Amino acid sequence: IEIYSLNVDCKVTSRFAHTVITSRIVNRANESREATFEVEIPKTAFITNFSMSMDGEVYPGIIKEKAAAQNEYDTAVSQGQSAGLVKITDRKLEQFHVSVSIAAASKVTFELTYEELLKRQLGKYELLIKVQPKQLVKHFQIDVHIFEPQGIQFLETDSTFMTNELTEALSKVQNETKAHILFKPTLDQQKKNSELDETLLNGDFVVRYDVKREATAGDIQIVNGYFVHYFAPQEMPVFPKNVIFVIDRSGSMTGRKIEQTRDALLKILQDLRPEDHFTFITFNNKVVEWKSSLLPATEENVASAAALVETLTARGGTDINGALLAAVGVLEKAEQLPERSVSMIILLTDGQPTSGERSVEIIQENVQKAINGKYALFCLGFGFDVSYKFLEKMALSNGGIARRIYENADAALQLQGFYQEVATPVLMQIEMQYPENSVEGLTKNNFKLFFEGSEITVSGKISHDLDLLPVEIKAQSHTSNLTLKEEANIKEKEQVFQNQRYIFGNFIERLWAYLTIQQHLEEAISAQEEDQKALEAQALDLSLRYSFVTPLTSMVVTKPQQQEELANKPTEAG
């Protein structure tokens, strides 16, 4: 079985990435063989299309509601195989895997398309392409076109497998608003050494970039009556933080996990700003407050906290309820905190609640009642013994986010990276306002916090024949209350995307659908049952209308001899 051609074609238009992977395989044996198409795609992406072509026949993947697809699915196939096409492989990727039997001397072409909105983190967008052909490929290429009407601020490529020879196969051309990256290694360049037919191509190929930002009220782009508004203000004063680290030191954290937690906390302590206040609560079946109040992050206090972190050992049970309520208590009675400041609780745990209150529903209720919208709760789940669903619901109900920390060598870096994302809050209570009577289907437009290096994205449909789209942004910064105004000239904005070969169809409409689905699914996690059903119904409707494989839909892949397989979208919460 020989993969004679593998093509990754990616078009990014205004942060929305559309990727097509095409693999052509030939069976050089004199009997039929299994041909496998196995690719890893970003978790944040939705598959939108898949097909197999052989002997002049095309076998398309059809996207249906998950329940309906499951019912149609042949009951003879054991449940275990039914979701066999897609599985999570690491913290950023999931794998799509399909194989088909092809006759002697026959060929098959696999084609997979997926889309995602690139998210700005720590000041850059990242386009991640996993490269793993597992054999030498005669025609191999990665072709990336980027078009950013705001202008490209910087652009870099990075890869985990580059050699000097391979660098020669990489070309990068860019002007003010466009970039083209082509990676096209020959067979010889792909080889580990000249004697063996082993490939060097195994790992990540990453493109990172950021855009220029001129307008204070963000940037608006419009195509076919749909708009997207990006807002990422520069050089704002940073809010002082009041942060409580709530650290699990129960028995299951023993060994590598507690070591990595110590390493990460020592680095994080160094990153605190002098105007921040902080403290630690550690817990197993007992909850221990390092100090009874928050301390300013002076050199002395940081050094004394570091000494405590060095002594962290792990044993005993897990009282998540007691620890979080203690943290809220410390914030409640805190005095002399900076007037305009952001209070947050960062929980790190690797297990289920086993001490104190054990019912996750009651813990969620207790914590939400205690926090009462005043503080942000971030939940980090270490490894796979945590109930991620529980942590995610608790974080989203309290203005924060959840993240799984994978038990790899880089766990300490994952923890630090997460902290860096939330380390610099620059705006609070952000409201993005648009004329009510002329915009519909608006995505989320108010946000509790904005962190430096990230970006707020709002999208919607302009319903009337407007000439101008006025926007108003209200927010609190550390020094003042802001009101920013802007008017977008709709005709001019539509002009930007005319005659661009980078454009794929109505990309802003698809971006709007993608964002709406993502947000509805996220809101559903912490919503009441009735609202949850309504949000999921809307997300399902959009998933089917725009043909996205989301956690609510399945793609039915039909093979020759009428065999059927299902591709489902896995979620972090399983």
**Class of residue 129 by CB neighbours under 10 A (exposed 0-12, middle 13-18, buried 19+):** buried
**Residues 328, 368 contacting (CB under 8 angstroms):** no
| Phi (first) and psi of residue 466, to 5 degrees | -85, 155
CA 450 to chain centre: 17
Q: Could you check whether 2-212 and 241-423 share the same CATH topology? A: no
Q: Taking CA 59 as the corner, what is the angle to CA 58 and CA 63, rounded to the nearest 5 degrees?
A: 130
Q: CA 61 to CA 48: how far, in whole Å? A: 9
> Does the pLDDT value for residue 356 go beyond 70?
yes
Distance CA 13, CA 19 (A): 11
Residue 221: the pLDDT is: 94
Delimit the domains of the chain by residue range. Answer: 2-212, 241-423
Parallel/antiparallel/unpaired status of strands 241-248 and 277-283: parallel
Q: Report d(CA 384, CA 406) in Å as an integer.
A: 8
CATH number of 2-212: 2.60.40
Compute the average pLDDT of residues 431-442. Answer: 95
pLDDT tens digits, 535-555: 999 999 999 999 999 999 999
Lowest mean pLDDT among 75-89, 138-152, 268-282, 445-459: 75-89
Least confident of 67-76, 222-231, 251-260, 504-513: 67-76
Q: What is the pLDDT of residue 89?
A: 80
The alpha carbon dihedral of 415, 420, 426, 430 has a sign of negative
| Mean pLDDT value of segment 191-196 | 86
**Mean pLDDT of all residues in 489-507:** 78
Indicate the residue type of 572.
Answer: E
Which residue, among 310, 255, 322, 256, has the nearest Cα to 284 in the 3D structure?
322
Listed in sequence order, the residues at least 6 apart from 103 whose beta carbon sits closer than 8 Å to its beta carbon are: 27, 32, 55
Contact yes or no for 216/473 (Cβ under 8 A) = no
pLDDT of 141 above 50? yes
Tens digit of pLDDT for each residue in 53-100?
Answer: 998 899 999 999 988 887 766 543 443 333 358 888 888 999 998 888
Average pLDDT, the chain: 92
Those residues with Cβ within 8 angstroms of residue 372's Cβ, 6 or more apart along the chain or in another chain: none
In angstroms, the CA 425 to CA 403 distance is: 18
In whole angstroms, what is the distance from residue 259 CA to residue 232 CA? 36
Q: Give mean pLDDT, residues 178-186.
A: 97
Is residue 22's pLDDT more than 70? Answer: yes
Angle between helices 388-397 and 507-526 (to 10 degrees): 100
Lowest mean pLDDT among 230-239, 497-506, 556-565: 497-506
Q: Can you give the pLDDT at residue 500?
A: 64
pLDDT of 214:
85
Residue 249 has pLDDT above 50, yes or no: yes
User: Is the pLDDT confidence value at 216 over 90?
Assistant: no
- pLDDT for the residue 90: 80
Report yes or no: 99 and 34 within 8 Å, Cβ to Cβ. yes
Compute the distance between CA of residue 371 and CA of residue 467 in angstroms, rounded to an integer.
44
Cα-based distances in Å from 38 to 41, 87, 111, 201, 406:
10, 11, 11, 15, 23
Instruction: Please compute the mean of the pLDDT values over residues 231-248 and round it to a whole number.
Output: 95
Confidence band for 520, pLDDT divided at 50, 70 and 90: very high
**Which CATH fold topology does 241-423 show?**
Rossmann fold (3.40.50)
pLDDT score of 348: 96
C-alpha–C-alpha distance, residues 340 and 380, integer Å: 26
Let me know if 247 is exposed, middle or buried by CB neighbors in 10 A (0-12, 13-18, 19+). buried
3-state helix, strand, coil in the chain (%, to 5): 25, 40, 35
Measured in degrees and rounded to the nearest 5, phi and psi for residue 354 equal -115, -10
Q: Which long-range contacts (CB under 8 A, 24 or more apart) does 181-189 make?
A: 181/142, 181/143, 181/144, 181/146, 181/157, 181/207, 182/141, 182/142, 182/143, 182/144, 183/141, 183/142, 183/157, 184/140, 184/141, 184/142, 185/140, 187/136, 187/137, 187/138, 189/165
Question: How does DSSP assign 392-410, residue by residue?
Answer: HHHHHHTT--EEEEP-STT
| Residue 370: both structure tokens together | 């205690």
By the 10 Å C-beta count (0-12 exposed, 13-18 middle, 19+ buried), 517 is classed as: buried
Alpha-carbon distances, residue 85 vs 264, 518, 556 (angstroms):
36, 22, 10
